[in-house]
Structure 1
Amino acid sequence: MMTPNPQSRPVPAEIQAAPHPFSPAEPRVRARLLRALALLPALGFVLMVLAPPLNHDVAAILNFATRWVGGEALFRDLIDVNPPLIFVLTAVPALIDRFTPLDPVQSWLLCVLACCALSWRFCLRLREGWDEGVVERAVLDALIPLVIVMVAYDVGQREHLMGLFALPYALLAARRAEAMATPRGLAIAVTVAAALAFALKPHFLAVPALVEALVLLRRGPAAALRDRLPWLMAGIWLMYLASLPVFFPDYLGFVVPLVVDFYLSNGGIGLFDVLLTNQLGPALFALAAALALLAWPGAGPRAWMLGCVGVGSFLSAWVQHKGWSYHVVPMAMATALMAGWVAARWVDRNLPAGRAQAAAPGLALAVVVALSVVHLRGESPWRQIWYGALAEGRLTAALKREVAGERLLVLSPDIYPVYPALNYARARSTLRTMNLWVLIGAYQGCPEGVPRYREPSEMSRPEFLVYRTVAEDFARAPPGGVLVAKNSGIARCGAEDFDPIAYFSRHPAFAETWRHYTRVVHMDTYRLYLRED
């Protein structure tokens, strides 16, 4: 008797309907999952942006903008070295705070994330019509949103705002260099946004100078000069310059000479020494390595334009000779995008089409994870995780407990951690400058035989202005408290330290009002004096 062949038995219907374990649907599902995972690093950095603390320089500008919207005169009651455009732009969240339930910090976060989204949208639109390879497309879809927010703690800094709109400007310049048609409204919007971003600091103009020079080389002088977009950008800058003596005469007549005499010499590093700092040095090395990739013939004009943004951003950081972290932000953004773009194009050129298609989502994920690991250092996410234990967190808690919502005279050389502690406590500084930088500039040395504090008749005009206005403002409308740094930021001369209270108490109006501040709250590096009515 023959045994039936098991292979000849009928297959049950439920087994016939089951998908094959290696069906074509599985690679598609895997690719979608990897693309979604590739966006998670950018989302993680967005969460860092939303978590406290706010960047200290951003917080100081926001505090000044809020005071300006509240009625104080910019560059008369509020004296700062920054050109007026950043205050004009930051007045937007200050106005949102005034007319909505949002507080200033929430309003600012809303505005800066809107700028990030706008930059991302610009880049997406400008990529339309390009012959992108499958790896190139996958990498850019994940890399561009990450580059936009990866600076985390420095998001919203002037350098970050410049970098945000320098990226789409570089893509638009590449389209112009290739004579690609771009929707008129999109081209104008990108140009206007970039013009405003480059106008935030005069150093930033190095970026459009290099980009437009490359466009001119690729298109030729006749075609490049007929292009209306660079002229639109130049027109915006000229209008801005023309507006300064009309709307902000005190900036040109008073603040600029003050900056030259008292600010530029504070905290500077030699132009060659700054190249060896732990911020600019590694960023310059990474930029040089990325620029070497442009030697490959397939790099493309888009990468070349990003190279111009990187070099221009380096020049901007270098001439400021400070070596601070946020100075390298646009340089790092351009470097990361340029390197990732060229590498993706190389993979597309050197892998068979089928293998490139299969590898693209995984390669995109690998690129953004690697870049995220590089940037998870120093500032974020450690600032956010340990915020309550850091100086700004402890100071914020003390100010919220003692002087929340009140006016506060701040006698300190610091921006950090005074800001953002004032912002979170909704306390408003009464000092006309963000810190005591004018006094730091006035007392840089220790001349032999000279008294520790100058007499009013011996003071320069800027020092006397600070001396008089602090005392008179203090007496006219006594604030709820006085926050004094234990370290004045001014060099000790012999046995005598510089004591801001002793300095201003020589003014009779200050001395009389100071008698009412008797309660002292001691902190690590500050003393908070409270008024006893």
Structure 2
Amino acid sequence: MDGCAIEPDAIGSARALRNPMSIEAKVAALAAATLAIAIQTLWIPIDADVSWLITVCERVLSGDRLYIDILEVNPPASVWLYLPLVWLAKTIGTRPEAVVAAGFVAGGLASAFTTLRIASRLDVPRARPFLACALPFIALVLPMALFAQREHAAVLLALPVLAAVAVIAEGGRLNRRAVAASGFAAGLIVIIKPYFLLAVAIPALWTAWKRRSVTPLVPGLIAGGLAIALYVAGILLFAPAYLAWLPVIAHTYGPMHESWWKLLLAPTFYPAICIGLLMMLRPDKVPVLAMSWILGAAGFLLATFAQAKNYPNHLLPEAALALAAAAAVLDLPGVVRGRRLPVSLALAFVGACQMYQWVILPDPAVASAIKRVAPPTPSMIALSPQLTTGHPVTRNVDGRWVGSRAGLFTASGAAHAGLKDPIARDAYREDVDSFGRDVAAHSPDVVLVSRAAKKSLMREPSIAAAMSPYRPAAVTKDTEVWVRRSLKR
């Protein structure tokens, strides 16, 4: 790969980024890792999505067939991302939540230090410790309840990948092996969610434009294409049933979207503030590292618009990259001295607001009610269109999920899309009937019933018949806990 040499004085004067193991980076990494572990252990449990995917992994490892015996609305990568960690937990005999959290803590540290090491190849006149301190907190603490979500994994990959893109854009030295590794990681980002292609494609196109050539990107493009090709082969070999599921997703999950004014406002709010604060620093020019992250944030933002759901986890990647870009500009010596401190404090406040927004806790009353009226380690299912009715509470009470899906989400999407559509109508009926089949096959001890959806769902004859052996035993704000009538009061 062609590149430009970095002057010796530039190398010597940028030690904080040249040495990713600087004291600032070490202290920040230790503090962030400690805080992340404390948050996940003592305050915020693994969230509903991750809890459900852990359950899916356990079922797959026990022999269930994905998209046949156990149904997940997302592509196989959503399950395979956690499968090695859940397998490890099963092998060593510990809780999967602990292994997943530990794996993401390790990944966050690796992401921060790899990003700093790659950034050390940029031609920075003088380095300051802002980025070295910010990255571990962005990677480990900022996600809060979104910790270990697929979007969190995408952020951990995107930080070093887009740093490598910045080095290439500047013409810095990055050997072919490093470019290929970055490209493979970029492919993994796309595998996590195909929408995320925008987050790597936009910075790559910008780099090709700056270099007036695509040649420096070729090893990465090949490696990224290889990663995606391997994933496609994996689907064909190990999860071909997913392909038959795609039309159902398109006709049920696809049409569900947030109102457009909310969709435009929520994802752009924090990134726009970060970019505004960045410009308040009045840099002579936005450095390539910050620009690469800004363009990546723009790609993630477009991906959020394309998904059109406005779920909190969808907002994380663009917010994290915009915050990292602002931190990178704080390191520049050319910014107005009197603006550095107030902008730093403002960015810290923005980060704190994001963390507060992402403090998502399950209702403890549901777990208490289950423990009060159900037998120990109960078998469980949910009569609800929402995944959050049954997860993570099932795992939090040491329950055993016996449903073939997380909830009647497909039926909800089909009803939203309109049952005049034959594919949506068939999907609705199959999803509703699956509840009766699961109850008949497994006779769960507990059925968690969504109070908001109870009336409409109980009109279905198959559901009403399946619920006849059960009685309500406890009520919380959003959930009713039903148990088998044969259980003693």
1:66 paired with 2:58, answer yes
Amino acid at match of 2:482: Y
> Which residue does 1:415 correspond to in 2?
387
> Which residue does 2:135 correspond to in 1?
144
1:466 paired with 2:438, answer no
Which of 191, 208, 217 aligns to 1:216? It is: 208
Mapping for residues 181-196 of structure 1, pairs under 5 Å: 181-182=173-174, 186-196=178-188
Cα offset, 1:398, TM superposition: 2.9
Give the whole-Å Cα distance in 2 for the aligned partners of 1:312 and 1:446.
31
1:431 paired with 2:423, answer no
Amino acid at match of 2:358: E
Query: Secondary structure of 1:87's partner?
Result: helix
> Which residue does 2:246 correspond to in 1?
256
Give the whole-Å Cα distance in 2 for the aligned partners of 1:459 and 1:191.
38
Give the whole-Å Cα distance in 2 for the aligned partners of 1:363 and 1:181.
35
Amino acid at match of 2:62: G
Cα offset, 1:60, TM superposition: 1.9
Amino acid at match of 2:264: L
Give the whole-Å Cα distance in 1 for the aligned partners of 2:202 and 2:335.
29
Query: Secondary structure of 1:483's partner?
Result: strand
Mapping for residues 29-428 of structure 1, pairs under 5 Å: 36=27, 40=31, 43-50=34-41, 51-132=43-124, 136-149=127-140, 150-182=142-174, 186-221=178-213, 223-224=215-216, 227-253=218-244, 255-266=245-256, 268-276=257-265, 279-286=266-273, 289=276, 296-345=283-332, 347-348=333-334, 366=345, 369-380=348-359, 383=360, 391-401=362-372, 402-428=374-400
Cα offset, 1:184, TM superposition: 5.5
Amino acid at match of 2:430: L
> Which residue does 2:16 correspond to in 1?
none
Give the whole-Å Cα distance in 1 for the aligned partners of 2:423 and 2:112.
55
> Which residue does 1:13 correspond to in 2?
none
Which string of whole-angstrom CA distances, capped at 9 and with x for unpartnered residues, describes residues 164-190 of structure 1?
111100111112223333356554444
Mapping for residues 6-17 of structure 1, pairs under 5 Å: none
Cα offset, 1:501, TM superposition: 7.6
Cα offset, 1:471, TM superposition: 2.2
Which string of whole-angstrom CA distances, capped at 9 and with x for unpartnered residues, describes residues 497-532 of structure 1?
31438532566xx37xx43x3572333332222232
Which of 437, 442, 448 aligns to 1:483? It is: 448
Cα offset, 1:470, TM superposition: 2.7
Cα offset, 1:487, TM superposition: 1.7
Partners of 2:281 and 2:336 within 8 A in 1: no
Amino acid at match of 1:161: A
Cα offset, 1:46, TM superposition: 4.7
Give the whole-Å Cα distance in 1 for the aligned partners of 2:214 and 2:310.
40
TM-score (norm 1): 0.77
Give the whole-Å Cα distance in 2 for the aligned partners of 1:467 and 1:34.
52
Give the whole-Å Cα distance in 2 for the aligned partners of 1:467 and 1:369.
47
Cα offset, 1:193, TM superposition: 2.9
Cα offset, 1:400, TM superposition: 4.1
Go from structure 1 to structure 2 and tell me whether the alpha carbon gap of 1:397 and 1:71 turns closer, same or farther (over 3 Å shift).
farther
Cα offset, 1:438, TM superposition: 2.3
Cα offset, 1:414, TM superposition: 2.0
Give the whole-Å Cα distance in 1 for the aligned partners of 2:241 and 2:213.
40
> Which residue does 1:27 correspond to in 2?
none
Query: Secondary structure of 1:265's partner?
Result: coil
Query: Secondary structure of 2:387's partner?
Result: coil
Give the whole-Å Cα distance in 1 for the aligned partners of 2:123 and 2:172.
12
TM-score (norm 2): 0.83
Amino acid at match of 1:429: W
> Which residue does 2:474 correspond to in 1?
521
Q: Note the residue ranges of structure 2 that are not aligned, 5 or more in a row.
A: 1-21
Query: Secondary structure of 1:111's partner?
Result: helix
Cα offset, 1:412, TM superposition: 1.2
Cα offset, 1:421, TM superposition: 0.9
Q: Percent identity?
A: 19
Larger Rg: 1
Amino acid at match of 2:382: V
Query: Secondary structure of 2:377's partner?
Result: coil
Give the whole-Å Cα distance in 2 for the aligned partners of 1:45 and 1:371.
18
Query: Secondary structure of 1:470's partner?
Result: helix
Give the whole-Å Cα distance in 2 for the aligned partners of 1:445 and 1:243.
31
Amino acid at match of 1:373: A
Cα offset, 1:397, TM superposition: 2.8
> Which residue does 1:504 correspond to in 2?
462
Partners of 1:408 and 1:482 within 8 A in 2: yes
Amino acid at match of 1:148: A
> Which residue does 1:18 correspond to in 2?
none
Query: Secondary structure of 1:323's partner?
Result: coil
Amino acid at match of 1:65: C
Query: Secondary structure of 2:264's partner?
Result: helix
CA RMSD, Structure 1 to Structure 2 (Å): 3.5
Cα offset, 1:133, TM superposition: 5.2
Query: Secondary structure of 1:221's partner?
Result: coil
Which string of whole-angstrom CA distances, capped at 9 and with x for unpartnered residues, describes residues 419-451 of structure 1?
11112123232222211112223444999xx9x
Give the whole-Å Cα distance in 1 for the aligned partners of 2:91 and 2:417.
48
Go from structure 1 to structure 2 and tell me whether the alpha carbon gap of 1:502 and 1:102 turns closer, same or farther (over 3 Å shift).
same
